[in-house]
Structure 1
Amino acid sequence: MKYWLECLGLAAVITLINLYPLPLPMPIFKQLLIPMISFGLSLVLGLRFPDIDLYTPGLKHRSAVTHSALLPWLVTLLGNPAILAGLSIGMAIHIFADIFPKAWIGGALVNMPLFGSIGKLSPYWLTLNFLICLAIGIQAVNTNGDWIKYGSLCLSLIILLWYLIKKEKSMPPLLSAFMIIGVLCWYHYLPDLSSFSLDTLTAGSGKRLNSSG
């Protein structure tokens, strides 16, 4: 019950921040701070959500419902890229860490509602849904301005390394994480620092504000 309340509390705070934003002195603070705070809180929620199956009647641990891209797909309906990016990347980090158990037995296996454990298909299920969550998160982040994109990248890397070091304490996930980070930074994710200016600072946010007006 406590775990559920923590997750619902995070979701409530994220919702309130976006529905009733704090009165900030300059529009630029609103355009920067609200997306970044929303991203950070959603990232934490995404990290925690998969394990909510431990506290949900009818679901076994490593449930295919919570260890999947189902929730990020549903959140796309909200139309808020900061929330979608944070939640998706947080879940991607959690699911990625689950790909490296000590052994593929017992609680390491994915459980499908009504059908039970999917056995040897578990690593494939987790890998596929990790990639889907990551792709959704990256796509959502890239709709924001450069500064928000860069801040989201830095925060994601810090949380990723902290989570893997604290939770997993093993080299394979860390090495794999560094490889994934390197590929993302080199090919797609790292913004062009030379393009940083006040005009492009919140380009994505500005477009959303204009369209909503």
Structure 2
Amino acid sequence: MRFDENVGSAPGVDALLFLFAAITLVALADRWPPLALCAVPMAALAGTTLPDLDMTLGLGHRSGLTHGVLPVLIALWSPRWRPVAAGLALGIGLHLSADVFPNGMRGFATVKLPGVGSIGRNGSWAWLAVNAVAALAIGALLVRRMASTGMTLAILIVVAVIGVAYLFVTDGGWPALLVYGGTGWALVRRRAIARS
């Protein structure tokens, strides 16, 4: 088998391609700064599948190294890469939110930590939920700090479309969509009540 015949079948490899594109956009932003903001949705696309790179790397499925905020923290190493970190955070948050709703939280579906192994059913739910919320919060905060209110809204709308498309087709995505939809409705409703 040749690599080019199987590049689409290795979990997480597509994430590396989108991540490379996001990094390239940030690198080119020296010449045209708006490209840095374009990197956010590209990195978000990468983040939706990056956690499953654990299988390709031989770490075992649901490795705590990839199914958490660690990739985001690595991207935050340099302030220059904040647009990449923001997008990764949003995409990983979407991926982890779908992983909170597996068909069954046992065996393959549980989170595994290096040197520890599986953290069990309840530990896995807690790990995924806490890291999903943390990743989404980090991503939204980073985008807000990088752009004006209007541009932040535009970026988050593009990422929301990516998120809906991803969650629509992935296992566990429907319950996550319901949670996001309900939360979004409650926030909009709360704001409307506060204004009246």
Whether TM-score is above 0.5 comes out as yes
Given the two structures, how large is their TM-score scaled by the length of structure 1? 0.75
- Name the SS for the 1:101 alignment partner: coil
Report the Cα distance in structure 2 between the residues aligned to 1:46 and 1:184, rounded to whole angstroms: 25
AA aligned to 2:28 is Y
CA contact (8 A) 1:35 1:148 kept: no
Q: What residue in structure 2 maps to residue 136 of structure 1? A: 138
Matches within 5 A, 1:188-203: none
Gaps of 5+ in 2: 192-196
Instruction: Name the CA shift for 1:161/1:20 in 2 (closer, same or farther; >3 Å).
Output: closer
AA aligned to 1:48 is T
Q: What residue in structure 2 maps to residue 20 of structure 1? A: 28
Query: How well do the aligned residues superpose, as a CA RMSD in angstroms?
Result: 2.5
Q: What residue in structure 2 maps to residue 60 of structure 1? A: 60
Deviation at 1:9, TM superposition (A): 3.2
AA aligned to 1:88 is A
Report the Cα distance in structure 1 between the residues aligned to 2:36 and 2:128, rounded to whole angstroms: 28
Report the Cα distance in structure 1 between the residues aligned to 2:18 and 2:160, rounded to whole angstroms: 21
Percent identity over the alignment? 26
Q: Deviations over 1:16-73 (max 9, x none)?
A: 22223496xxxxxx444x133201110111111100011012x110111100111111
How many equivalent pairs are there?
Answer: 180
Q: What residue in structure 1 maps to residue 180 of structure 2? A: 177
Deviation at 1:140, TM superposition (A): 0.2
Report the Cα distance in structure 2 between the residues aligned to 1:22 and 1:90, rounded to whole angstroms: 25
Mapped pair 1:126 → 2:124: no
- With 43-52 and 163-172 compared, the bigger mean Cα shift is at 163-172
Q: Deviations over 1:104-137 (max 9, x none)?
A: 1122111111221111210001011111111111
- With 144-153 and 118-127 compared, the bigger mean Cα shift is at 144-153
Q: What residue in structure 1 maps to residue 42 of structure 2? A: 41
Bigger Rg, which one: 1
Instruction: Name the CA shift for 1:9/1:125 in 2 (closer, same or farther; >3 Å).
Output: same
- Name the SS for the 1:52 alignment partner: helix
Instruction: Name the CA shift for 1:39/1:187 in 2 (closer, same or farther; >3 Å).
Output: farther
